Structures are given as C-alpha cells and as structure tokens.
Structure 1
Amino acid sequence: MKKLLLPLFCLILIHCKKSEAHSLNANLVNVAEEDKLIAIDSSAVALKSPVVDASIRFPSEKTISEKTTAISKKIIKNGNLRIQVGDIKKAQDQVSSIVKSNKAYIQKEEFQNNDNEENIDLTIRVPHQNFDALVNSFSDGVGSVLSKNISSDDVTEEYTDVSIKLTNKKIYLEKYRDMLKSAKTTKDILEIQENIRELEDEIDVSEGRLRFIDDRVNYSTLNLSLYKEKVRTSATSKVGFGSRFGDSVTEGWNSFVAFLLGVISLWPFFLLIPVLVFLWRKWRNRKKK
C-alpha cells in the first residue's frame, strides 16, 4: 500500500507544478497585453516606472485623439496704420468715436511732442469680425494714410497640437492620481507625486498658451499712429489751405528766430571788429606817411 501511495503523491505534485506554470504564463501574457496598451505621447512626461497596480491601464494615443473635438480655424489679424492729420485733438475725437462704434477698446496710448511733430501711438483691440471695418474707417475719415500694413497668421495647427497634448496630459494626470491611491511604498508615492507635479506645471503652461491664442484670435490688434507735422511743405501735406498757411507763417517765424539766435551766438567775433578796424586804420596811416 505504501508503495502505491508514493508514486501517486509524486504525480499529484508534478500536476500542481504544471498548473502553477500555466498560471504564471497566463499572467505574463496579461502583463504583455497591458504593456501594448500603453501608448505614451511624445509630449507627455516620461514615466519613472514606479511599482503600481497593474490593473490600471493608460489610454492609447488613438483613444485620446478620438476624444479631441474638431477645432475651427484660428486666424490672428494684426495691423499697423500711420496717418497724417491736421489737428491732433480733432483726430483723437474721431478715433474715439470710431473705436466705440466698432466695439473696440484702446489698450495703450502714448503721446510725443517735439519741435517738428506731434505724435500719438495707440494700440487698439477690436473684435475680429470688426477689424476690416475699423481699418477702413480710419483710412477714409481721419487723415492722409502714410503707411498701412495688415497681416493674417493661421495658428490652427499650433492650437490643435497644444489642445491634443493638453488632453493627453490631463488623462495621464488622472491615471497618476489613481495610481497614487494604490501605491504601497514611500518610494512609489514620492515618484508618482513628482510626476503629478510636473504634469500639473505643463498643463498650466498649455492652458495659458491656449488662452493667449484665443485672445489674439477673438480680438485683433491694430497699432495706430496719428502724426501731425509742425513744419511741412506743400509737397508733403494734403490738409487744407488754412492749416498750411498757418504752418508757413510759423515756419517763417521759426526761421527768423533761428537766424537771430545764430547771429547772437557770434558775439565774441563782434568784439574783435573794433580792434580790427583800429589796426587797419593804423596800417593805412603808416602807408600814407
């Protein structure tokens, strides 16, 4: 009886080992399948491989892309306009009226006044749908356009790229937070927390970039310069005769004052004139004798 029990026990032991081997192989296959499902986007923070629950699956890149909604065209319009005017104050009033009627606002204003010109530089933000109307109103009704530069930049590709990466990072962030709940050791907790911190920083940067692009798309920017020349010629001016006549009188007075000041600046030489006259007369008297 003992001889029969010994072989039977050996068979049972071998069978158990085979079952364990099959179970181990099945676990390895499951782990391999889990690894294939992890498709980390190139922009995401590199994983530091902390020991975590293998049941947590990261989303594939295809799944993330499908969740990203379609993005409309993103066009940023900018412009630079320089206008010569006859009266700065009147031009300012016209600009304020045009800005108000187009639902725009003045973001920045700078005023300069020197001997030759008065100049006001304005940075105007206007809803993108009113940009063309605003530019045309300034070009037609304020003064003489000296220069005009309008540009349009298509940032749809950049916006889409940043949006997809942002979606990826938010999904990874949620997964890391789930992993943090199941972490067992202090090392794993610290590594996961560091990954979470880095992802949160990158998410803040991406969201800030998207807000900036949206602001530039929704509100176009126009840099307007109002220019009043104090000393003009008829060849460079297109304003009325009365204004040009006044400028001519001012120019003549300025020229006279400049001449007078130039003469006064020669006063040291005037002191030498009596000396030169005295020496000349003395030399002439000697020559006569």
Structure 2
Amino acid sequence: MKNIVLALSCLLLIHCNKSGVAEHSVKADLFEVISEDEPISPVAPPNAVSEKLAPDKGYETLSSVSKKTDTLSKKIIKNGDMKIQVGDIKKSQSQVNAILKSNNAYIQKEDFQNTDRSENLNLTVRVPHKNFDVLVNSFSDGVGSVLSKNISSDDMTEEYTDISIKLANKKIYLEKYRDMLKSASTTKDMLEIQEKIRGLEDEMDIAEGRLRFIDDRVNYSTLYISLYKEKVRSSATSKIGFGSRFIDSLTEGWNFFVGFLLGVVSLWPFFLLVPVVIFLWKKWKSRKAKP
C-alpha cells in the first residue's frame, strides 16, 4: 500500500510539472503573438510643414558640403585707379589700346571731356586677374606721367563660402519640399508647400546671382584709367594780361547788368499790382477816418 501511494505521488508530481511547463510555454507563445500583433501607436502629425523635414539627412549633407567648400580657392577681387598726364590724348589712347590687346583686356566704359583747361579721357577697363599687375606696370612705364595710383584687394572668400553653404542647404530642402508636394493630401498642405518652394527658389536665385557677380569680379579685375592733358595757353593766342582781364571784367559786368535787368522786367505783373494795392489801401484808410 505504501508503495502504491508513493507511485501515485510520483505520477502526480510529474503531471504537475508537465502542466506547468506546458502552461508556461503557452503563455510565452501567446505573449509573442500579442507582441507581434500589437498595433504601433500612430505618430502625431507635425504642426507645420517645415517640421516634416527630416533634419538628420540634410545636416549630414550640409556637413559634407561644408567640407567641400573649405577647399575653395581664394576669392580675391583686385581694383585700381590711375590718373596719367599725357602730351597727346589720341596718341596715348592708341598706346592704351595696344596694351589692352596684349593683356586680353577690354574697355567696359569710355568717357571723354574737353574743357577750356584740359582734355580728359576716362576708361573703365576689365582685365583677367592674372594680367592685372602686368597691365598696371605697362601703364606706369610707357604711356605718360602717373599723377596718382591706387590699388586695392578685397578677400571675398568668406562671403563666397558662406553663400555656397547656404545655397547647398536650400537645394537640399527644396528637394525635400518637392517630394512632400507629390505626397500632399490636402489643398492647404499643397499651397503651403508651394509657397515655401517659391520662397526658396527666390532666395536661391539671389544667392546664385551674388556668386556669379563675385566670380566675375574675381576672374576679371577692374582698373579705372584717366588720361589727362592740360591745355597750355600761349600769350600769342590768349593775350593773358591786364588789358585782357579788364575787357573780360567789363564783359562780365555788362552781362550781369543785362541779366539783372531782364530779371526785373520778368516781374512786371507784380509792378502792375502795386498801384492797385496802394489805391485800395488809401480808400480803406479814408473810410476809416470818416466819423
């Protein structure tokens, strides 16, 4: 009897262990199913369209662009102006044209002034950056007497790099907005995205225009040249002396008098009004004097 009870106890213990293991196994499997089938809670939509942009990829690209722009060559703009006194404007202009041609330069603007005292030929010259110094030295040596010379250099590298990085960043976000526009579900989102695209495109046009301007000024330096010829008045032609000055003074005095007289004559309507004003004033005064 004792053996039978012991055997039944062993069988009961083994059955309980198997049931526990089976129950634990079922619970584990059920937990795994629940975990796999459990729906993911939806992410709240951003309040603004700009929040939909994923910054991580953009910043990584921007970082790479920044590294590329660090290797940009120096953006140096050279400018200068020279005033040269010459003996013959036409001859000097021919010399200038020959020098410009040999240095692959060209005249952007030309202005000629001829006064009683001097002749002035003002030129705005554009020359390749590498030929700027050679051109300046050529004008200093063979054209005439240099009265003044000013040369300046502006380093635009920092501004150019900054604009390039911002432009690259705007291009990244522009592509993101265009992708968002394709998947926009509401009219409001479409209009908002289109407005941001237009704003980015305008900013990019301005930035690209500034970069083109800097590149143009870097590739071609600007030199302002003034050819100056002073007119010498000889005594035979001008008769500079007391008599000539006296006659000039009389002429200027007469011209001043004529101008003054004409100015007075031009006021004739006011002179016609003076008698009327005096008459009305006397009439008003006589009425006031009567009791």
TM-score with structure 2 setting the length: 0.67
Distance 2:216 2:253 in 1: 63
Q: Does 1:259 align with 2:245?
A: yes
Cα distance change on mapping 1:18 and 1:61 into 2, 3 Å: closer
Cα distance change on mapping 1:85 and 1:266 into 2, 3 Å: closer
Structure 1 window deviating more from structure 2 (87-96 vs 61-70): it is 61-70
Cα distance change on mapping 1:258 and 1:96 into 2, 3 Å: farther
Partner of 1:160: 161
Which residue identity lines up with residue 159 of structure 1 in the other structure? Y
Summarize deviations over 1:19-68 as a string: whole Å, max 9, x none: 647x22xx65xx89xx9xxxxxxxxxxxx82399x6x7343324213135
Distance 1:199 1:84 in 2: 52
User: Which structure's CA Rg is the greater one?
Assistant: 2
Say whether the 8 Å CA contact 1:84–1:228 is kept in structure 2: yes
Which residue identity lines up with residue 49 of structure 2 in the other structure? P
Alignment map for 1:181-192 (pairs within 5 Å):
181-192=182-193
Say whether the 8 Å CA contact 2:58–2:172 is kept in structure 1: no
Which residue identity lines up with residue 67 of structure 1 in the other structure? V
Which residue identity lines up with residue 188 of structure 2 in the other structure? K
Partner of 2:89: 88
SS in 2 for 1:71: coil
Partner of 1:66: 64
Distance 1:152 1:51 in 2: 41
Distance 2:115 2:186 in 1: 72
SS in 1 for 2:188: helix
Alignment map for 1:271-282 (pairs within 5 Å):
none
Alpha-carbon shift at residue 129 of structure 1 (Å): 0.2
Over 2 Å off, 4+ runs: 15-21, 56-63, 67-70, 247-250, 256-268
Which residue identity lines up with residue 203 of structure 1 in the other structure? M
Q: Give the fraction of aligned pairs with identical amino acids, expressed as a percent.
A: 61
CA RMSD of aligned residues (A): 3.0
Cα distance change on mapping 1:50 and 1:266 into 2, 3 Å: closer
* Unaligned 5+ runs, structure 2: 1-29, 255-291
Alpha-carbon shift at residue 255 of structure 1 (Å): 1.3
Partner of 2:277: none
SS in 1 for 2:240: helix
Summarize deviations over 1:207-236 as a string: whole Å, max 9, x none: 0000000000000000000000113xxxxx
Which residue identity lines up with residue 259 of structure 1 in the other structure? R
Distance 1:267 1:102 in 2: 55
Distance 2:114 2:244 in 1: 20
SS in 2 for 1:147: strand
Distance 2:94 2:207 in 1: 41
Partner of 2:49: 50
Cα distance change on mapping 1:65 and 1:259 into 2, 3 Å: same
Alignment map for 1:175-186 (pairs within 5 Å):
175-186=176-187
Which residue identity lines up with residue 58 of structure 2 in the other structure? S
Summarize deviations over 1:63-102 as a string: whole Å, max 9, x none: 2131352211000000010001111111101100001110
Alignment map for 1:175-254 (pairs within 5 Å):
175-231=176-232, 247-249=233-235, 253-254=238-239
Say whether the 8 Å CA contact 2:88–2:229 is kept in structure 1: yes
Alignment map for 1:65-144 (pairs within 5 Å):
65-68=63-66, 69=68, 70-144=71-145
Say whether the 8 Å CA contact 1:80–1:222 is kept in structure 2: yes
Which residue identity lines up with residue 60 of structure 1 in the other structure? G
Which residue identity lines up with residue 49 of structure 1 in the other structure? A
Say whether the 8 Å CA contact 2:92–2:143 is kept in structure 1: yes
Say whether the 8 Å CA contact 1:65–1:164 is kept in structure 2: no
* Unaligned 5+ runs, structure 1: 1-11, 36-47, 232-246, 269-289
TM-score with structure 1 setting the length: 0.68
SS in 2 for 1:225: strand
- How many residues align? The count is 218
Alpha-carbon shift at residue 258 of structure 1 (Å): 3.5
Which residue identity lines up with residue 247 of structure 2 in the other structure? L
Alpha-carbon shift at residue 18 of structure 1 (Å): 11
